[in-house]
Amino acid sequence: MQVDFYQAGCKSFFKKHARQVDLIRRRIAAAVDEEQKTGMTKVKLASRQRVAGHPVYEFRLNLGKIGSARVAFTIDGEQVTVYFISSQLQKSSFSHDVERVLDNVM
């Protein structure tokens, strides 16, 4: 599975945790892969908007010492694109921020 990160949506989170970027990327890739294999049980829709016809999903992920984060992504076959990562765990705030990022994608 190929995981890409949308620069505009992930930049601020990666900048805040600059020393752990590789760890974050690996954990997100592993978590998305695991969710896809287990039937996406922890995954919810992040937005009603679609990107290139694909729904935008989100789930909460524990990143160890960094803490918990929410991740918004799409899946297109073997291609996963992560559009937004945030330590804002409240669903309504996170969804609002995802909508803002997705407006710039389209």
Domain ranges of the chain: 2-105
Banded model confidence at residue 60, pLDDT cuts 50, 70, 90: very high
Q: Is the pLDDT of residue 25 over 90?
A: yes
What confidence score (pLDDT) does residue 47 get? 87
Q: Name the CATH architecture for the domain at 2-105.
A: 2-Layer Sandwich (3.30)
- Angle (CA) 42-46-47 rounded to 5° is 150
Structure tokens at 62: 């524990």
Arithmetic mean of pLDDT, 24-44: 90
pTM for the full predicted model:
0.89
Q: Name every residue whose Cβ is closer than 8 Å to that of residue 82 and which is 6 or more positions away in sequence.
A: 3, 4, 5, 6, 9, 10, 28, 32, 71, 72, 73
CA dist 66 and 75 (Å) reads 25
Indicate whether 81 pLDDT > 70: yes
